[in-house]
Amino acid sequence: MSGVTPEGGHRAGAEPRTPRAVAELPRQVREELARRLRRNRRAFRKDDVQIVEPPLLRRAVGASALGNCMEWFDFGVYSYLAATIGKVFFPGASPAAQVISSFATFAAAFVVRPLGGLVFGPLGDRIGRQKVLATTMIMMAVGTFAIGIIPGYATIGIAAPVLLLLARMVQGFSTGGEYGGATTFVAEYSPDRRRGFLSSWLDFGTFVGYALGSALVTALNLMLTDAQMLSWGWRVPFLIAGPLGVIGLYMRLKLEESPAFQQQLDEHEKSLAQESAGGEFKEIVRKHWPALLICMGLVLLYNVTNYMVTGYLPTYQTETLHRSSGSADVLVLIGMVWIVLLITFLGRLSDRVGRRPLYGVAAAAMIVLAVPAFLLIKAAGTWQPILGVLLLSTLLACFAAPSAATLPALFPTAVRYAAMGIGFNFAVAAFGGTTPLVTAALVGATGDDLMPAYYLMLAGAIGLLTVKFLPESAQVPLNGSQPMVGSQEEQRELITTSKELYDFARERAGTPHA
């Protein structure tokens, strides 16, 4: 085998010195670039590396984050108003039954989420991400606005909870295509080096939406009497969804398709246009079942924690710990603001240290800290409950920050939207959206108010096992997509590095330069 001396000369039997630019690459980046160079049989050229224009990138991230913001504005409102909604739509039940009935209606939206994913996912792979995301925005706005105008049980009887259920199902169906599409869209637009940071803005929008919804409900609770909230005040947050939806639709209609989708448009038309959704579902499950299981494990970890904190914790404090709704609302709102402050920093951290370390450390911490966090939340006083909520919120931020960059990277471009729709929505339906309902039922059945902590520990154990099989995707091009950069300087640097890596690999193999 030929070698290269430190001075650049060849010496028989010596390994060639690794070029500095190649040695400084993270291992997973080096391996992925080497794999692509072997397939190309040459170094990268200018047309092999896609530059994303900053204005297009900002619009893509902003419009996608707004959809998440709107979706979670509704969830924040519904979670904080669960007890009130129970009184309006299920007045004949006991207080505990009202809460459970309200959460059952909340969970019903998650039953239809997989159906939305099965419909919108393949559509997004066929006709484009942008068109589907515009459709889901309209449906979310209509479903949320409808809840605000449904008469209560006292006015129309049993039709009231039936209409509430239908509105929630419209929301759930649209959401089935929303998160998978938004994460796919932003991941396909983001430069490889910054995908974690840029994709974390999606979940930034998620928690901003939740914080805005919960802050609005908290303000209404402080300004209005209980009678006024029960009569009309609870409707106000839902009615705001109409104007938000119009703004979001306008922004999404101005978007262009993602570079990865445009790159493979011809292949999509040839391979998917004649295939039924059912056939594509079977093909995805058959070919990509390991990635689907990893996706579902990470989604379970993220969403059980998410819905525990955002969906169940306000009601846990009022119904189980018998605190005032005002103090419970403020406590959870502090946690949401903390997540908003942390999440993009953690997204940037995942670009530097990798997605696997961030998930793994946080999942292990969940197993250890869940019970102490709930003991702090149960404690009397002010600072201990705040510290307990901040602990859970920090762990939630660690799961949320890398998710939008990690999950789309598990699947190739041609089936990414559909596969995300399957893996994400089935896991959320089975484990995430049911968390408030199951946890409330467990606490009621056992009388043990630490049941939420045990539930989180189980989720942490499943997440830790999943991370063991998770491939590292930080700074790596998406499967089936061109390398993505944010500037011409990055493009030149990557082309130069690829040439050094290609030449180095040929020297190690003893192949003469072309």
Quick check: 7 pLDDT over 50? no
Report H helices in 224-276.
Answer: 226-231, 236-239, 241-253, 259-263, 265-272
* Residues with Cβ within 8 Å of residue 489, at least 6 apart in sequence: none
Query: Could you give the CA distance from residue 432 to residue 441 in angstroms, rounded to a whole number?
Result: 15
CA atoms within 13 A on the CB side of 110: 22
Kind and range of the H or E run holding 396 = helix 383-406
Is 4 or 330 the better-scoring residue by pLDDT? 330
Mean pLDDT of 152-164: 87
Paired with 50 in beta bridges are: 484
Return the pLDDT at 274: 47
Give the count of beta carbons closer than 10 Å to the beta carbon of residue 232.
Answer: 11
Give the tens place of pLDDT for each residue, 310-345: 878 888 888 888 888 778 878 888 998 999 999 999
Note the pLDDT of residue 181.
81
Is the whole model's pTM more than 0.85, yes or no?
no
**Which of these ranges, 116-125, 137-146, 394-403, has the smallest mean pLDDT?**
116-125
Look at residue 385 in the predicted model and tell me its pLDDT: 94
**pLDDT number for residue 358:** 96
Alpha carbon 398 to its chain centroid, in Å, reads 12
What does the pLDDT read at residue 174?
A: 85
Q: Is the dihedral of CA 293, 296, 302, 307 positive or negative?
A: negative
Nearest CA among 75, 112, 463 for reference residue 300: 463
Structure tokens at 235: 């409707």
Q: Which residues pair with 485 in a beta bridge?
A: 51
Most confident of 101-110, 205-214, 251-260, 265-274: 205-214
Considering only CA atoms, which of 144, 143, 122 is closest in space to residue 132?
122
Average pLDDT over all residues of the chain: 83
Strand, coil or helix: 454:
helix
Supply the pLDDT for residue 272.
46
Instruction: Give pLDDT tens digits for 348-403.
Output: 999 999 999 999 999 999 999 999 999 999 998 889 999 999 999 999 999 999 99
Look at 508 and 487; give whichever has higher pLDDT.
487
> Is it the case that residue 513 has pLDDT exceeding 80?
no
Q: What is the pLDDT of residue 3?
A: 39
Class of residue 322 by CB neighbours under 10 A (exposed 0-12, middle 13-18, buried 19+): exposed
What is the structure's pLDDT at 384?
A: 95
> Which residues, in sequence order, are bridge partners of residue 51?
485
* Bridge partner list, 484: 50
Of residues 505, 510, 472, the one with CA closest to residue 192: 472
pLDDT surpasses 70 at 16: no
Of 87-91, 149-153, 286-290, give the lowest mean pLDDT range.
87-91
Q: Is 165 left (phi over 0), alpha (psi -120 to 50) or beta?
A: alpha
pLDDT of residue 362: 97
**260 falls in which pLDDT band (50, 70, 90)?**
low
Q: Which of 47-56, 85-94, 192-201, 415-424 has the largest mean confidence?
A: 192-201
Residue 305 has pLDDT above 90, yes or no: yes
| Model confidence band, residue 37 (pLDDT cutoffs 50, 70, 90) | confident
- Please tell me the predicted confidence (pLDDT) of residue 510: 63
Most confident of 7-11, 116-120, 462-466: 462-466
Q: 130: which 2 tokens?
A: 């942008």
Lowest mean pLDDT segment, chosen from 118-132, 311-325, 487-501? 118-132
Report how far residue 253's alpha carbon sits from residue 250's, in angstroms, rounded to the nearest whole number: 5
Q: What is the pLDDT of residue 265?
A: 59
Reply yes or no on whether the pLDDT at 11 is more than 60. no
Confidence of residue 12 (pLDDT cuts 50, 70, 90): very low
Tally of CB atoms within 10 A around 379: 13
At residue 472, the pLDDT reads 92
Q: Residue 227: exposed, middle, or buried by beta-carbon count in 10 A (0-12, 13-18, 19+)?
A: exposed
When pLDDT is averaged across residues 211-221 and rounded to a whole number, the result is 85
What is the distance between the alpha carbons of residues 259 and 478, in angstroms, rounded to a whole number?
Answer: 12
**The total number of residues written for the chain in this structure:** 514
Angle, vertex CA 185, rays to CA 296 and CA 199, nearest 5: 70
For range 181-192, the mean pLDDT: 86
pLDDT the model gives residue 85: 83
Read off the pLDDT of each residue in 58-74 and give the average, rounded to a whole number: 81
- DSSP labels for 66-94? HHHHHHHHHHHHHHHTHHHHHHHH-TTS-
Return the SS3 of 485: strand
Angle separating helix axes 488-509 and 27-40, nearest 10 degrees = 80
CA-based nearest residue to 242, from 106, 70, 79, 113: 70
Mean pLDDT, range 156-162, rounded to an integer:
87
Q: How far is 288 from 407, CA to CA, in rounded Å? A: 13
| 106 compared with 399, residue with greater pLDDT | 399
Nearest to 277 by CA among 177, 179, 189: 177
CA distances from 216 to 221, 238, 270 (A): 9, 11, 49
Q: Mean per-residue pLDDT for 109-121?
A: 81
Indicate if the pLDDT at residue 273 is higher than 50: no
